[in-house]
């Protein structure tokens, strides 16, 4: 039985700040990719990071790459869980489901917190504890250069010692020693029992999320959710002769970006909805693009009032393949939405020399 048939492997790493979750996750992703796995790193705290980025953009003091405001994230973590119980886990499930829909056969969560571990286990994640001596951990934490350090005793970090993990990795030694342990972990994860592929109950959710789509396949219901999002996007913004097309782009980590068509008085100045969604994805730093789709809103004069799937135009096919060489698009197959390789809709794509210095038009976009 292949990994596709068993369902996506799901792994969640947790540990106190400075234990080495991010480093371990980076090594694990590298090792699993070397074993032929398509790995998506999906973060439970992505909404918190979004708010953090918006805050520092607003005050005009950008965080350096990898830098965090631990105190702000502590506050946001508590407030999200108080104001909208269950949201973080539900949002996380939606994103990693999108990542699998986009082709990933392995989902790696590198920022799990003890408070969320029961919910992650309920979603079929195998839990890995990363540990290091307190003195070494604090030294590493202080060396990260965070704007403001988070608290080790914050409620979101509490209770980790009571968690029964599936695996434990000791990060007390050198990077090479950690790599050896991660290689062993990867082999055990791949050889071990598969993550469940059935419905996944969520803490704080009234209904299960599932069934989880298998890598390389997509149930019509899974694609329908993306189509519905595109429909809702254009329904909210439709204006005759201005905004008629709504688009959705899904990144490899499950993030979703929307866009609307911009009609111009001079026709050739118009901008397709897919291009707007692509711009939003690029602005957010998403380079691994997996799925795109567009829908068309009817004009008031048209008798049919349904918002229908439409394939990308020729220009959008060229543009999307420049930035997502493996991207697939959702088309109407008659019986429902279906994923097809965009490259198959543009068999003789234009290849120029504009990006030759970067190794080709698409070589360095992933």
Phi–psi pair at 324, nearest 5 degrees: -140, 80
User: In angstroms, what CA-CA distances link 124 with 24, 209, 211, 317?
Assistant: 20, 11, 12, 36
274 is catalytic: yes
Residue 26: asked if its preceding bond is cis (omega within 30°), the reply is: no
Angle at 37 between CA 7 and CA 14, to 5 degrees: 80
Dist. CA 265–CA 263, nearest whole Å: 7
Residue with tokens 């951990």: 137
The answer for residues whose C-beta is within 8 angstroms of residue 283's C-beta and 6 or more apart is: none
For residues 290 and 246, the answer to whether their CB atoms sit within 8 Å is no
Query: Which of 17, 21, 163, 166 is closest to 77 using CA atoms?
Result: 17
In DSSP notation, 129-177 reads: EEE--HHHHHHHHHTT--SBPPPTTSTTTTTGGG---SEEEE--S-HHH
Dist. CA 197–CA 208, nearest whole Å: 12
Q: Could you say which of 274, 302, 318, 338 is catalytic?
A: 274
For residues 132 and 171, the answer to whether their CB atoms sit within 8 Å is yes
Dist. CA 132–CA 138, nearest whole Å: 9
Burial degree of 46 (CB within 10 A; 0-12, 13-18, 19+): middle
DSSP reduced 3-state for 51: helix
| Residues annotated as part of the active site | 274
């Amino acid at each position: 039985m292949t990994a596709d048939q068993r369902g996506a492997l799901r792994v969640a790493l947790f540990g106190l700040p400075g234990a080495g979750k991010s480093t371990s996750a980076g090594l694990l992703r590298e090792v699993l990719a070397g074993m032929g796995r398509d790995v998506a790193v999906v973060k439970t705290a992505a909404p918190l990071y979004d708010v953090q980025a918006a805050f520092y953009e607003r005050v005009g003091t950008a965080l350096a790459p990898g830098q965090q405001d631990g105190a702000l994230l502590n506050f946001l973590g508590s407030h999200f869980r108080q104001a909208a119980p269950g949201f973080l886990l539900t949002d996380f499930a939606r994103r990693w489901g999108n990542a699998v829909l986009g082709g990933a056969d392995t989902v790696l969560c590198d920022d799990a917190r003890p408070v969320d571990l029961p919910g992650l286990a309920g979603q079929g994640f195998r839990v890995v504890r990363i540990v290091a001596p307190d003195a070494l951990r604090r030294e590493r934490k202080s060396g990260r250069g965070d704007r403001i350090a988070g608290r080790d005793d914050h409620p979101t970090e509490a209770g980790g010692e009571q968690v029964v993990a599936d695996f434990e990795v000791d990060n007390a030694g050198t990077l090479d020693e950690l790599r050896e342990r991660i290689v062993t972990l990867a082999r055990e994860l791949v050889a071990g029992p598969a993550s469940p592929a059935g419905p996944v109950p969520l803490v704080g959710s009234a209904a299960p999320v599932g069934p989880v789509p298998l890598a390389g396949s997509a149930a019509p219901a899974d694609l329908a959710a993306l189509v519905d999002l595109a429909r809702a996007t254009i329904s909210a913004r439709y204006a005759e002769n201005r905004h008629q097309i709504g688009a959705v782009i899904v990144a490899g980590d499950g993030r979703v970006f929307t866009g609307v068509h911009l009609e111009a008085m001079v026709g050739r100045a118009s901008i397709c909805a897919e291009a707007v969604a692509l711009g939003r994805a690029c602005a957010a730093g998403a380079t691994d693009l997996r799925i795109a789709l567009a829908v068309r809103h009817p004009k008031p004069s048209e008798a049919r009032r349904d918002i229908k799937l439409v394939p990308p135009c020729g220009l959008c096919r060229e543009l999307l393949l420049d930035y997502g060489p493996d991207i697939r698009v959702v088309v109407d197959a008659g019986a429902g939405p279906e994923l097809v390789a965009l490259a198959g809709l543009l068999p003789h794509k234009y290849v120029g020399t504009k990006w030759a210095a970067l190794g080709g038009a698409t070589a360095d976009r992933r």
